Amino acid sequence: MDLPFILSISPLVLFLILLLGLRKPLSEVSLWTLGLMIVLALLYWQIAPVLFWASFAKGIFVALDIFLIIFGAIFFLEVLRSLGVIGSISYYLESFSKDYRIQTIILAWFFENFLEGAAGFGTAAVIVAPLLIGLGLTPIKAVIVSLLGNSTSVAFGAAGTPIRIGFSGLEYPAIP
């Protein structure tokens, strides 16, 4: 293995060692990893500081955009909980069908596909998993079923985020 390869994977290795091996808090591990990446980028790869800070700022803004979407989905879940909608969903699903398998399909397939189109980034699984636990599934089964139900719609994502984030840096005339 050559030195550039070893240095390029060193932030990931440091992250895994500190987080999993030494069981340090995630905030501390993230700062150490960020520090190593800054040192490598400026000293070893000699990236111009202007370009480095510009890409750093762009990364923060993209992460903030994703954070706001995920925060909105979790906020939506908390609103559903506080208004008692989760209990109502369980009640109406039970009146629709007594079979929990059909209720699971309705939640993990149809409701998740709707939420994935609205929020994106797999946040639908975060919202539907507690609903599935409310139906009687064990937590691990609820997570597995919600992730499986979300797998098809994830390819399409939210309405505007793939264009805004996924294709934002490309200069291609067919992409608005």
Same domain, 79 and 115: yes
Does 54 map to a domain? no
Same domain, 97 and 153: yes
Same domain, 69 and 151: yes
Q: Identify the residue whose tokens are 């919600």.
A: 146
Within the chain, where are the H helices?
Answer: 3-16, 26-39, 49-82, 85-96, 100-105, 112-118, 123-135, 139-150, 161
Does 57 map to a domain? no
List pLDDT tens digits, range 127-139. Answer: 888 888 888 889 9
pLDDT band at 172 (very low <50, low <70, confident <90, very high): low
**DSSP state for residue 167 in the 8-state scheme:** T
> Domains in the chain: how many in total?
2
Same domain, 42 and 89: no
List pLDDT tens digits, range 47-82. Answer: 998 999 998 898 888 888 778 877 877 787 788 788
Same domain, 90 and 8: no
Q: Exposed, middle or buried by CB within 10 Å (0-12, 13-18, 19+), for 153? A: buried
Does 109 map to a domain? yes
Same domain, 34 and 71: no
pLDDT band at 167 (very low <50, low <70, confident <90, very high): low
Domain residues for the domain of 136 are 62-162
Does 38 map to a domain? yes
Same domain, 69 and 34: no
Q: Which of 7-11, 37-41, 92-96, 106-110 has the weakest average pLDDT?
A: 92-96
Does 55 map to a domain? no
Does 16 map to a domain? yes
Q: Buried b / exposed e across 105-131, counting CB within 10 Å, b at 16+?
A: ebbbbebbbebbeebbbbbbbbbbbeb
Distance CA 14, CA 39 (A): 14
Does 127 map to a domain? yes
The more confident residue out of 1 and 45 is 45
Residues sharing a CB contact under 8 Å with residue 109, sequence separation 6 or more, in sequence order: 149
Same domain, 90 and 142: yes
Q: Exposed, middle or buried by CB within 10 Å (0-12, 13-18, 19+), for 142? A: buried
Same domain, 88 and 139: yes
Same domain, 86 and 39: no
List pLDDT tens digits, range 81-102. Answer: 888 877 787 778 778 888 878 8
